[in-house]
Amino acid sequence: MPDQDRDVKVSGSYRALDREEPPRALDEAILAAARRELETRPAPLVAPTGRRHWYVPLAAAAVIVLSVVVTLHVQREQPGPEFDGNVAPAPPAQPAPKAEPAPRVEIQTKRDARKPPPAAPASQAELAKPLAGPAESAAGATSEARRAQPMLERQAVGQAAADAVAKRAEDAETPERTLERIAQLRREGRHKEADEAYAEFRRRHPDYRIPERMLEQVQPR
Amino acid sequence: MEAPDEQLMLAYRDGDAGAFEELYARHKGALFRFVLRSVRERALAEELYQEVWIRVIEARERYERQARFTTWLYTIAHHRLIDHWRKAGLKTVSLNADDDPPPEPAAGPAHDPLRQLEGREQLGRLLRALEALPAAQREAFLLREEAGLSVAEIAAATGADEEAAKSRLRYALKKLREALDDA
């Protein structure tokens, strides 16, 4: 402390004053309170460590928010009912138009994806429609196309999955069952389809011996 | 070698009652005189003094070693005195008023420091001059003399800036010196 903040005479005189002390009873009361405190509330489980920084709770909140966002994003990115095999077959994916006019993409709902083929806008060609008017900027359209890209990819993936399911169903069909299906096509007069199915049958089962009675019903005419 | 105050308080926080007893023994006299000479009434001083220590005890779980224990202790005492004065509506003891008028001479023998310091004229004048100081200046002086705080620590304990604390201390010393020189 600098000398200008100290006065030896004043300090000495002050220290010569009575040195009052608290009464002993007060001392005992305070010390007893201190002991009681330890009995009622033992040592903290986690000792306070350092200064509590403002960013600690903020970081915790950020981690929680990020976790929720990532979880929701992952859930939305996962394929939904498109994989249930009820999706109508759609034409192969076409590249999204890049040049003018910028594409406007309508997001297809899952309900639409379950509609029969003629009504379902399952193809990417139907998903991508021209801009309604020139007022919309190319930047905005590009942004929309970028947002729609994951949807288009999901459509293609869903279509491939549906084809795979159908192929597995065909593979699982027994030769007898296939022949009965072909015979049914003949009876219905759908000979072109029956011929194709029969040719496919022969390709798949070249060594299969068709019973005579069945052969009359399924062979090409 | 004695353990530092902060280490004793941490030990008490962690459950060592003996550490608190040692800490209390170190600070009880100075803190009691600080409170007594701030309020000039013994019964009230005892009550406020006990409450300051109770606050220390209750704050033990939250205690962290961020500053000197002494500064922390007298910060609690300062706040307790502020609470008391605000509750009592005593304008003349506002800590923020450097130019408070001197308080009226205490009435009655129980409040008369001269009765306690009979025969010690010079010390009596000093004590009266101390009582006559504005509250903020008296507090700065007592924190310096009793608690041994530096100007920066006085500023921290009272929530003032260092310049204000230094100014209060200088004015207090000047007036007390004048009271002694009058003899």
The ipTM (two decimal places) reads: 0.81
**Is it the case that residue A178 has pLDDT exceeding 70?**
yes
> What confidence score (pLDDT) does residue A51 get?
52
Count other C-beta atoms under 10 Å from residue B109's C-beta.
9
pLDDT confidence of residue A220: 81
Per-residue model confidence as pLDDT tens digits over A79-114: 655 444 444 444 554 544 444 444 444 444 444 444
The CATH number of residue B53's host domain is 1.10.1740.10
**Which pLDDT belongs to residue A143?**
53
Asked if residue B120 and residue B89 are part of one domain, the reply reads no
pLDDT band (50, 70, 90) for residue A46: low
- pLDDT for A173 equals 78
B7 or A5, greater pLDDT: B7
Q: Same domain for B114 and B27?
A: no
Please indicate, yes or no, whether residues B1 and B88 belong to a single structural domain of this protein: yes
Query: What local confidence, expressed as pLDDT, does residue A67 receive?
Result: 93
Q: What is the average pLDDT across B35-39?
A: 93
More confident residue, A169 or B161: B161
Q: What average pLDDT does this structure show over A177-188?
A: 91
Percent over 90 (pLDDT), chain A: 16
Residue of B nearest to A44 (CA): B61
Q: Mean pLDDT score of chain A, rounded to an integer?
A: 70
> Dihedrals φ, ψ of B47, to 5°?
-65, -45
Band of pLDDT at residue B162, cut at 50, 70 and 90: very high
**Cα of A140 to nearest chain B Cα, Å:** 55
If asked whether residues B108 and B38 sit together in one domain, one would say: no
Mean local confidence (pLDDT), A30-58: 75
Chain B hits for A15, Cβ within 8 Å: 145
Q: What is the pLDDT of residue B50?
A: 95
**φ, ψ for residue A130 (rounded to 5)?**
-65, 160
Last residue of a domain, one of B93, B123, B150: B93
Q: Are residues B71 and B113 in the same domain?
A: no
Lowest mean pLDDT, pick from A73-77, A79-83, A173-177, B25-29: A79-83
Residue B75: Cβ-neighbour burial (10 angstroms; 0-12, 13-18, 19+): middle
A42 vs B contacts (CB less than 8 Å)? 15
pLDDT at A148: 55
| Whether the Cβ atoms of residue B95 and residue B165 lie closer than 8 Å to each other | no
More confident residue, A133 or B10: B10
pLDDT surpassing 50 at residue B13: yes
Above 70 in pLDDT, residue B168?
yes
Q: Do B60 and A35 touch (CB under 8 A)?
A: no
Q: Is the pLDDT of residue A142 over 90?
A: no
Phi, psi of A126 (to 5 degrees): -80, -25
Chain A residues within 8 A of B61 when measuring between CB atoms: 41, 44, 48
Between chains, do A21 and B29 touch, taking CB under 8 Å as contact?
yes
- Whether the CB-CB separation of A124 and A96 falls below 8 Å is answered with yes
| B134 shares a domain with B89 | no
- pLDDT tens column, B117-139: 444 677 888 888 999 999 999 99
Task: Indicate whether B18 and B37 sit together in one domain.
Answer: yes
Q: How confident is the model at residue B100 (pLDDT cuts 50, 70, 90)?
A: very low
Among chain B residues, the shortest Cα distance to A34 is held by: B57
Same domain, B70 and B119: no
pLDDT digits (tens, 9 = 90+) for B63-83: 888 889 999 999 999 999 988
Q: Do B75 and B115 sit in the same domain of this protein?
A: no
Which residues of chain B are within 8 Å of residue A49 when distances are taken between CB atoms? 64
Q: What is the pLDDT of residue A150?
A: 59
Look at residue B103 in the predicted model and tell me its pLDDT: 45
Beta carbons of B60 and A33 less than 8 Å apart:
no
Q: Which of B47, B66, B93 is the last residue of a domain?
A: B93
Asked if B144 reaches chain A (Cβ–Cβ under 8 Å), the answer is yes
Please report, rounded to a whole number, the percentage of residues in chain B having pLDDT higher than 70.
83
Verify that B3 and B39 share a domain, yes or no.
yes
CATH of the domain at B107: 1.10.10.10
B175: nearest CA in chain A? A10
B88 min Cα distance to partner chain A (Å): 23
The domain of B123 spans: 99-183
**Which of B39, B70, B93 is the last residue in one of the domains?**
B93
Per cent of chain A over pLDDT 70 is: 50
Which of A13, A18, A33 shows the shortest C-beta gap to B57? A33
- Give the mean model confidence (pLDDT) for residues B151-164: 93
Q: Are residues B10 and B47 in the same domain?
A: yes
User: Rounded to an integer, what distance in angstroms lies between the CA atom of residue A125 and that of residue A96?
Assistant: 8
Picking from B10, B20, B38 by the largest number of A CB atoms within 10 A of its own CB, the best residue to mutate is B20
Helices (H), chain A: 8-15, 24-40, 55-77, 110-113, 124-127, 138-172, 175-187, 191-204, 212-218
User: B-chain residues within 8 Å CB-CB of A22?
Assistant: 28-29, 32, 46, 49
Q: Domain count for chain B, please give it.
A: 2
pLDDT of residue A50: 53
Give the angle subtended at the CA of B155 by the CAs of B29 and B14, to the nearest 5°.
Answer: 55
Q: Which residue has the tokens 């008023």?
A: B97
The answer to whether the CB atoms of A38 and B17 lie below 8 A apart is yes
Is B176–A7 a contact, with Cβ atoms under 8 angstroms apart?
A: yes
More confident residue, B168 or A146: B168
Q: Is the pLDDT of residue B110 over 60?
A: no
Q: Looking at residue A109, what is its pLDDT? A: 42
CB distance B37 to B142 below 8 Å: yes
Residues B138 and B164 in one domain: yes
